């Protein structure tokens, strides 16, 4: 869209950088994992030394970035590339803008706090996940109360510690919210949609060995966003794995705000987040 074209143009000018925007295919044309495959193929192609040379790109100064669903793909692609023994060029940085990183727990403090917050209320985010996995909306009420990851759902047990927000979030984010953990749930949901636990779709569930391989990371989060805690937890898990992380949190901003910098949606939140993001890239790339 023109909003993203504007952001990419400003990034290119501000950073004196080559910006490649991957036009991955969308729902309903294709569903997971095709979007991941599109982003992964495009990134691997661009990282070839001869392709980088064609665009006069310094192979030691490449970053992978994305916002929201694009942040999901950026994180997943970075994880996949980090395990590829055949790569000769690897990204120096990853920069994730209010990324969506998990579908395990729809009752994190930020999901509870912002459940009805524009532009991304919780029920919309759950429906987006169901669209991504080509699953029916009739499953939404069960996901809403975490029936898909209840204590009796054996497939989910090994992942629970990787998304324990009671230990991964600071008290300023936990506030007075309580975990929603069902004792008895619906194991058939995971059997129907195994992608709910596929790290290519939910990068926050990656193991520590994979996280140790990730490049220097920037994560931008907004207080008024159901996805706030996805980014904060990923930052903490990366930090625990020894990765250098910058968590850039905006207390007065909302999901998607970075692209709202053109009239009539010319918001201060857009300029604040965009400028901070570009400043970090300029200083670290």
Q: What is the pLDDT of residues 1-30, one digit of tens each?
A: 789 999 999 999 999 999 999 999 999 999
Which pLDDT score, from 0 to 100, does residue 1 have? 75
**Would the pLDDT of 167 be above 90?**
yes
pLDDT for the residue 39: 98
User: pLDDT band at residue 139, thresholds of 50, 70 and 90?
Assistant: very high
Note the CATH number of domain 2-283: 3.40.50.1820
- Whole-number mean pLDDT of the chain? 97
CA distance 282 to 171: 32
**Percent of the chain beyond pLDDT 90?**
98
Task: Check 2, 60, 68, 167 and give the catalytic one.
Answer: 68
What does pTM read for this prediction? Answer: 0.98
Model confidence at 180, pLDDT cuts 50, 70, 90, reads very high
Mean pLDDT of 250-264: 95
Q: Is 68 a catalytic residue?
A: yes
Mind listing the pLDDT tens digit for each residue in 184-241?
999 999 999 999 999 999 999 999 999 999 999 999 999 999 999 999 999 999 999 9
Q: What number of H helices and E strands is found in the chain?
A: 14, 6
Distance CA 98, CA 69 (A): 9
Alpha-carbon gap, residue 267 to 257, rounded angstroms: 8
pLDDT of residue 202: 98
Instruction: Please write the tens of the pLDDT for every residue from 54-84.
Output: 999 999 999 999 999 999 999 999 999 999 9
**Domain definitions of the chain by residue range:** 2-283
């Amino acid at each position: 869209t023109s909003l993203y074209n504007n952001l990419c143009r400003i990034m290119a000018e501000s950073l004196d950088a080559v910006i490649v925007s991957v036009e991955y295919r969308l729902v309903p044309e294709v569903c997971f994992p095709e979007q991941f495959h599109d982003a992964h193929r495009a990134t691997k192609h661009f990282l070839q030394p001869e392709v980088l040379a064609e665009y006069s790109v310094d192979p030691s100064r490449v970053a992978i970035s994305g916002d929201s669903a694009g942040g999901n793909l950026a994180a997943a692609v970075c994880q996949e590339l980090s395990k590829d023994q055949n790569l000769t060029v690897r990204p120096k940085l990853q920069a994730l803008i209010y990324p969506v990183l998990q579908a395990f727990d729809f009752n994190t403090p930020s999901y509870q706090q912002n459940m009805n917050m524009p532009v991304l209320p919780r029920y919309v985010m759950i429906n987006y996940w169901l669209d991504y996995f080509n699953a029916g909306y009739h499953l939404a009420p069960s996901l809403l109360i975490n029936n898909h990851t209840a204590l009796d759902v054996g497939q989910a047990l090994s992942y629970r510690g990787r998304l324990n927000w009671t230990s991964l979030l600071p008290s300023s984010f936990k506030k007075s919210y309580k975990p929603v953990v069902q004792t008895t749930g619906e194991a058939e949901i995971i059997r129907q949609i195994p992608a709910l636990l596929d790290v290519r779709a939910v990068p926050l569930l990656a193991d520590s060995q994979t996280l140790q391989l990730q490049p220097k990371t920037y994560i931008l989060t907004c207080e008024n966003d159901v996805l706030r805690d996805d980014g904060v937890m990923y930052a903490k898990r990366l930090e625990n794995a020894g990765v250098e992380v910058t968590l850039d949190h905006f207390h007065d901003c909302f999901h998607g705000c970075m692209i709202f910098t053109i009239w009539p949606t010319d918001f201060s939140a857009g300029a604040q987040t965009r400028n901070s993001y570009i400043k970090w890239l300029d200083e670290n790339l």
